[in-house]
């Protein structure tokens, strides 16, 4: 029997497959398609202190092998999430990771504190890499000192494991990863989207109302693999790897690079059943390559 | 039971320049409940990632077949135009909320207003309303004579009036002008077409008439999970409605366009 | 008649289509396929002071919508290039752009000086963005001060227009662009490749012998468009835009974003006739969108 | 006259598990001069960017047809396996330098050594050398019985010996062991197959025999412009030879493997 289990700070995972933040709502829609209990965990949509309406539409554009999104962190605010979304998630035997965003350090701290107070939330994911908001977001993820300060403050207040979600839009991702490691992060999520743009030839304007958007999907996979590979060598934190994963073979590549678990984002839009299908296929792919467990494959490319 | 299925292409045929009629067969056809729902079609090749949404145009339950009509718009629909009978397409659906037939009471008259490629979802609706014994009037607007399609088909189930912008076929003008000119009377309206048309319909009939309109927006997930396709909720905080989930069909005054 | 001509510092171009450095050798191979005189210009392979053998093979890998390369600046050295490659190029009525690389500022300066001495070379392109070498290359392109110093030194010595080729692997490309503008650059080329990696599932090793490689092709187009768009707003230098261009419509998107001419790299490998085909299609695409000249389309998205 | 052409697929058929024979028709077949040259095949779909190189296996000039034989190796060849007669594939080629037939004088004997999927380019060569009146011996090595293909075809033009690693068909062992066991005598050798086999051939015959070997390397441009596919030049500074341009066929000692 192939062992798909993996333990990460705060997260006892049945398997390493986790829908990525923003691509899975709060689970309700996908629960109509399949049993969420199959998943390793779920990452819910970014929460901010107040409700946010997000960016104007169009918010979605397609590129070759990828998509651009500029949702802009639309969410009903942390209180509504705690009152209306989390209770629904209690019915599942499923660790929930809460993705946290904000304009200021204080906002991150406050949102984290409140979410950490919920039973179903097993870990926090600090989104310091959202490219689609004016303030906060990526600004926190591109400077090592700011990222470290934010991490330290949230750690102090939250009392639950903190994963920091890194932005790929940086010169040196290892530097940021090291900074948040020193500041006390329990794990890393990487990567968020690459900042991109499309122009409409007819109107001459950007396809997205917001101008720029975040590039995700298979197009960015080689960048994700490279960054995880680099960070794994230099930083001693478990990594939830993501960026373009489409199938169980892609998952194996991420494990090889150094990820301990994986996030699945855009692929849910291509095939809404992709997560359970990957979970179904993963034992076979591991076995085919001579592994008996997830654990054995993690960081294999570094041996 | 999966909502995605590799369906068989039964037919893919050009109806008018750049307008194709595509018939698919699959088990999930029996899940298709309402006119106005849509399917999300996966495309293979050329770096396509997102599925393409198309309205269900006709449901043939006994044959497990349904139809979409699409216009070649960009690379994806260009690719779709090249698909041939015998190939398979992965279809995700039915998705979304369709046109409520039950809003129409016995003896009432329905006005169906279609603009260009907004016409297809009204076809299944026309058939159903007609089968319920209601009187159905269809007003369709197109750019020009070349763009006209499905006049004959609609006339099986309804009284049809056609307008073209350049007057090369039928009435010269837009659908609203035509409706006014004809002095059409109706109890409820169902509309699908360009945003400008829907906005004009809201303005003209929003106060006095019941009605339903079908919107389009760029989509990623198609099921309400990504918040890509939001639209404004009338009179409330914006972006609270998802076209793919709470729509694509909304009450006439439910959304602000 | 649609006017495809465009004048850039040192470069009188018949049309804006320029094969990108490293994807076209010194022109010889493509000259067997079509008449090079059709092209706007050509950019030749990177030159270094001494001959370089480049990286071990495999040097090429495929990714979804892109390729990774790790050629490693293989070239016969500037002297051989001047003696054996440039004279052959004299037969064409074609501005030649020389791509320059090195380990040190002095090497860049010396290579630039020698190349600028050749008649056929109309402009230099400083490759401060090669991700495939240990020293130099990208290191020069990720720090604004280093990039500026290098630009200034080369400008002093070269006496021909200098285009600086920017790396996309940075947090803030506008900062680098501004720095080289202030240092006297005559133009910008952007973007070079994104740093990426693929792992082989069988061996568990990187597909490329070098480990990482540079990602090019349609996958990176939205990143290129975004960067050109950003830089065009803030910097007053003409931009040679590149990154994933496949056809004339892509060219128009780059012009809209702010490019004055375009580089075609990876597409030459998919369709070896892509450059003349783009040149053939461009007037139609411009006309279709209501333009009478290249000039009118440049920066159109900013109006 | 372009070197790329959308050629018609005449046949695509599985010869042995995972091994396909693909016949294409096009005008550029008349440019195919030497056995051992290759074509670069464009694939549509699934994010493919690079063309796939395959050796020309047989040239049928009167019909403007040529053949390649390929093994399903990864996603690209899997896609290729699904292509059917009547479809078109964009072919770039012929490319590269092939096996020089003229190296073989009248009355001399040629030994053709093929390993697995390295066998195909030797087929056209066997035919040509046979047609010139030379004696041709072919030694082919495969993993096992299932992998064996083209024995009968090669025997039309040559004396054929087969080896399998597990002995499930023909001789048990590798091609070099078989050649030694049979005590085969020859004047010149032509080989194509895995690097390990080519290396062993260099070691065994590099000193005393004339010969040619065909290499593989990952390619981007296929014409010598990108320096992606370099190999080492024997005794000189490395990476001076491009497999796509100076090769894929090199003199037995021309390159170090
Ligand atoms: C609920 C719904 C029902 C629809 N029903 C029909 C129908 O019955 N017949 C028909 O011809 N068209 C219909 N459309 C529009 C159809 O989805 C687009 O024309 C199609 O997606 C264009 O794809 P493309 O690749 O050719 O165009 P491109 O412009 O190349 O597409 C680029 C991206 O933008 C998206 N996009 C472009 N135009 C639209 C649009 N109008 N609406 C949503 N997304 C768009 C594409 O899906 C794709 O992701 C419907 C749209 C929606 C939302
Ligand atoms: C000159 C030459 C002649 C060849 N002739 C034949 C032939 O006649 N029959 C046959 O079955 N195969 C032949 N090959 C090998 C064939 O090109 C590869 O098997 C094929 O490219 C694999 O593609 P893929 O997408 O299935 O594999 P993947 O592994 O998914 O391909 C990934 C990338 O690596 C490249 N690649 C993988 N393996 C090889 C390889 N061995 N050589 C070069 N590139 C590779 C692919 O082209 C692609 O760019 C030849 C290779 C060369 C260089
Ligand atoms: C529509 C959409 C919305 C997203 N929203 C969030 C978000 O709220 N918070 C976050 O940290 N990442 C968000 N992301 C990033 C994804 O979680 C993920 O990091 C990224 O898309 C790369 O993975 P993928 O290629 O599998 O999609 C979003 C991505 C998409 C496509
Ligand atoms: C095989 C290969 C070799 C390259 N060599 C160089 C080089 O020597 N100097 C340079 O500045 N850029 C080099 N580049 C980068 C290209 O010039 C170009 O900036 C990049 O590939 C993006 O454009 P594309 O997507 O059209 O290929 C190389 C790219 C490839 C694919
Ligand atoms: S498309 Fe995702 S919410 Fe509508
Ligand atoms: S593949 Fe480009 S040089 Fe050989």
What subunits make at least 3 CB pairs under 8 angstroms with A? B, C, D
- For the CA of A207, the nearest atom of ligand 1: 34
- Residue A139: is its pLDDT beyond 90? no
- Closest residue in A to B240 (Cα) is A53
Ligand 3 centre to CA of A215 (Å) is 9
| pTM, full prediction | 0.97
DSSP 3-state of B131: helix
Measure the CA–CA gap between C70 and C59, rounded to whole angstroms: 5
- Give C136's pLDDT tier (boundaries 50, 70, 90): low
Q: What is the mean pLDDT of residues A90-94?
A: 96
The pLDDT score that the predictor gives to residue D146 is 93
- Residue D245: is its pLDDT beyond 90? yes
The pLDDT score that the predictor gives to residue A84 is 93
Q: What is the mean pLDDT of residues D30-51?
A: 94
- Residue B15: is its pLDDT beyond 90? yes
- How much of chain A, in percent, has pLDDT values that exceed 70? 98
Per-residue model confidence as pLDDT tens digits over C220-259: 999 999 999 999 999 999 999 999 999 999 999 999 999 9
Q: Is A62 in the pocket of ligand 1 (CB under 6 A)?
A: yes
The pLDDT score that the predictor gives to residue B4 is 98
Cβ contact (<8 Å) for C303 and A202?
no
Distance of CA D128 to the CA centre of its chain: 14
Q: What is the mean pLDDT of residues D29-43?
A: 96
Find the catalytic residue in A82, A94, A123, A130. A130
The pLDDT score that the predictor gives to residue A134 is 67
- Give A79's pLDDT tier (boundaries 50, 70, 90): very high
Domain residue spans in chain B?
A: 4-95, 101-215
Cβ contact (<8 Å) for A272 and B223?
yes
CB atoms within 10 A of CB D105: 10
* Mean pLDDT rounded to a whole number for chain A: 95
DSSP 3-state of A278: helix
The pLDDT score that the predictor gives to residue B236 is 66
Active site residues of C: 130
The pLDDT score that the predictor gives to residue B192 is 96
The pLDDT score that the predictor gives to residue D235 is 67
Cβ contact (<8 Å) for A197 and C225?
yes
Q: What CATH code would you report for B4-95?
A: 2.40.30.10
- Give D236's pLDDT tier (boundaries 50, 70, 90): low
- Give D136's pLDDT tier (boundaries 50, 70, 90): very high
Q: Is D55 in the pocket of ligand 2 (CB under 6 A)?
A: yes
Per-residue model confidence as pLDDT tens digits over B148-205: 999 999 999 999 999 999 999 999 999 999 999 999 999 999 999 999 999 999 999 9
- Give A141's pLDDT tier (boundaries 50, 70, 90): confident
Q: How many CB pairs under 8 A join B and C?
A: 3
What subunits make at least 3 CB pairs under 8 angstroms with C? A, B, D
Q: Is C15 in the pocket of ligand 4 (CB under 6 A)?
A: no
- How much of chain A, in percent, has pLDDT values that exceed 90? 95
The pLDDT score that the predictor gives to residue D189 is 96
- Residue A13: is its pLDDT beyond 80? yes
Q: Which 3-state string (H, E, C) describes chain D?
A: CCCEEEEEEEEEEEEECCEEEEEEECHHHHHCCCCCCEEEECCCCCCCCCCEEEECCEEECCCCEEEEEEECCCHHHHHHHCCCCCCEEEEEEEECECCCHHHCCCCCEEEEEEEHHHCHHHHHHHHHHHHCCCEEEEEEEECCHHHCCCHHHHHCCCEEEEEECCCCCCEECCHHHHHHHHCCCCCEEEEECCHHHHHHHHHHHCCCCEEEEECCCCCCCCCCCCCCCEEEECCCCCCCEECCCCCEEEECCCEEC
Nearest ligand for residue D55 CA: 2
The pLDDT score that the predictor gives to residue C141 is 86
- For the CA of A263, the nearest atom of ligand 3: 26
Q: What is the mean pLDDT of residues D50-58?
A: 97
* Mean pLDDT rounded to a whole number for chain D: 94
**Bridging pattern class, strands A96-100 and A121-127:** parallel
- Closest residue in A to D75 (Cα) is A249
Q: Does C63 touch chain A (CB under 8 A)?
A: yes
Exposed/middle/buried for B27, CB within 10 Å: 0-12, 13-18, 19+?
Answer: exposed
- The reply to whether domains B4-95 and B101-215 share a CATH topology is no
Query: ∠ at Cα C8 (C7, C12), nearest 5°?
Result: 45
A275 a catalytic residue? no
Beta strand segments in chain C, E: 6-8, 11-13, 17-19, 42-47, 60-63, 66-69, 96-100, 121-127, 162-165, 187-190, 194-196, 213-216, 239-242, 261-264
The pLDDT score that the predictor gives to residue A93 is 95
Q: Is D229 in the pocket of ligand 6 (CB under 6 A)?
A: yes
Per-residue model confidence as pLDDT tens digits over C98-135: 999 999 999 999 999 999 999 999 999 999 987 776 66
Q: Is B228 in the pocket of ligand 1 (CB under 6 A)?
A: no
What subunits make at least 3 CB pairs under 8 angstroms with D? A, B, C
**Is the C-alpha dihedral spanning A211, A216, A222, A226 positive or negative?**
positive
CATH 2.40.30.10 fits D101-215, yes or no: no
- Residue C138: is its pLDDT beyond 80? no
Beta strand segments in chain B, E: 4-16, 19-25, 38-41, 52-55, 58-60, 65-71, 88-95, 109-115, 135-142, 159-164, 171-172, 188-192, 210-214, 230-233, 241-242, 249-251, 255-256
Q: Which residues of D touch B45 (CB under 8 A)?
A: 44-46
- Give B124's pLDDT tier (boundaries 50, 70, 90): very high
**Cβ atoms of D189 and D236 closer than 8 Å:** no
Per-residue model confidence as pLDDT tens digits over C7-28: 999 999 999 999 999 999 999 9
The pLDDT score that the predictor gives to residue A65 is 97
Q: Measuring from atom 4 of ligand 1, which residue has the nearest CA?
A: B54
This model of the complex carries an ipTM of: 0.96
The pLDDT score that the predictor gives to residue A1 is 82
- Closest residue in C to D239 (Cα) is C53
Q: How many Å lie between the alpha carbon of A286 and the closest alpha carbon of chain C? A: 10
The pLDDT score that the predictor gives to residue C134 is 66
The pLDDT score that the predictor gives to residue A136 is 65
- Residue B67: is its pLDDT beyond 80? yes
- Residue C60: is its pLDDT beyond 70? yes
Q: Which residues of D touch A65 (CB under 8 A)?
A: 47
- Closest residue in C to B48 (Cα) is C65
- Give A131's pLDDT tier (boundaries 50, 70, 90): confident
Q: How many Å lie between the alpha carbon of B217 and the closest alpha carbon of chain A? A: 7
The pLDDT score that the predictor gives to residue A108 is 95
CB-nearest partner of A171 from C169, C215, C301: C169
Nearest ligand for residue C66 CA: 4
Select from B32, B41, B74 the residue to mutate for testing ligand 1; criterion: most ligand atoms less than 8 Å from CB: B74
């Amino acid at each position: 029997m192939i062992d798909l289990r993996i333990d990460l700070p705060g997260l006892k995972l049945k398997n390493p497959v986790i829908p990525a933040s923003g691509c899975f709502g709060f689970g309700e829609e996908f629960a109509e398609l399949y049993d969420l209990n199959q998943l390793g965990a779920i990452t819910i949509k970014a929460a901010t202190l107040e409700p946010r309406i997000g960016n104007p539409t169009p918010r979605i554009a397609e590129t070759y092998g990828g998509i651009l999104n500029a949702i802009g962190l639309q969410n009903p605010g942390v209180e509504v999430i705690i009152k209306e979304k989390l209770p629904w998630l209690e019915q599942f035997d499923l660790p929930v990771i809460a993705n946290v965003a904000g304009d200021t350090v204080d906002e991150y701290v406050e949102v984290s504190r409140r979410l950490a107070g919920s039973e179903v939330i097993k870990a926090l994911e600090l989104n310091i890499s959202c490219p689609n908001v004016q303030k906060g977001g990526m600004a926190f993820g591109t400077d090592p000192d700011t990222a470290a300060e934010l991490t330290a403050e949230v750690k102090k207040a939250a009392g639950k494991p903190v994963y920091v979600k890194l932005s790929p839009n940086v010169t040196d991702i290892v530097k940021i990863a090291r900074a948040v490691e020193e500041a006390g992060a329990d794990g890393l999520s990487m990567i968020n989207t690459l900042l991109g743009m499309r122009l409409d030839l007819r109107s001459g304007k950007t396809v997205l109302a917001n101008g720029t958007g975040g590039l995700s999907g298979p197009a960015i996979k080689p960048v994700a693999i490279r960054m995880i590979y680099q960070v794994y060598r230099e930083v001693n934190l478990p990594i939830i790897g993501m960026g373009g994963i489409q199938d169980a073979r892609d998952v194996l590549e991420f494990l090889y690079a150094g990820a301990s678990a994986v996030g699945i984002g855009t692929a849910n839009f291509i095939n809404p059943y992709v997560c359970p299908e990957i979970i179904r296929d993963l034992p076979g792919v591991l076995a085919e390559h001579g592994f008996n467990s997830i654990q054995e494959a993690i960081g294999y490319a570094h041996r | 039971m999966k909502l995605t299925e590799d369906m068989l292409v039964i037919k893919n045929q050009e109806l008018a320049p750049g307008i194709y009629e595509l018939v698919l067969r699959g088990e999930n056809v029996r899940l298709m409940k309402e006119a106005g729902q849509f399917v999300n079609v996966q495309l293979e090749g050329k770096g396509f990632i997102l599925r393409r949404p198309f309205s269900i145009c006709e449901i043939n339950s006994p044959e497990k077949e349904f139809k979409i009509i699409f216009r070649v718009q960009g690379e994806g629909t260009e690719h779709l135009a090249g698909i041939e009978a015998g190939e398979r397409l992965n279809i995700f659906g039915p998705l979304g909320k369709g046109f409520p037939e039950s809003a129409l009471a016995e003896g009432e008259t329905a006005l169906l207003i279609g603009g260009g490629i907004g016409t297809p979802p009204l076809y299944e609706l026309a058939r159903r309303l007609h089968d319920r014994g209601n009187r159905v009037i269809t007003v369709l607007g197109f750019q020009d004579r070349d763009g006209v399609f499905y006049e004959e088909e609609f006339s099986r189930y309804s009284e049809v009036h056609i307008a073209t912008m350049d007057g090369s076929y039928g009435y010269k003008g837009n659908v609203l002008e035509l409706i006014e000119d004809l002095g059409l009377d109706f109890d409820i309206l169902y509309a699908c077409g360009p945003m400008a048309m829907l906005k004009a319909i809201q303005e003209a009939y929003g106060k006095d008439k019941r009605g339903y309109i079908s919107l389009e927006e760029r989509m990623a997930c198609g099921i309400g999970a990504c918040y890509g396709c939001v639209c404004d909720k009338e009179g409330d905080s914006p972006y609270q409605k998802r076209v793919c989930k709470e729509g694509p069909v909304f009450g006439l005054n439910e959304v602000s366009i």
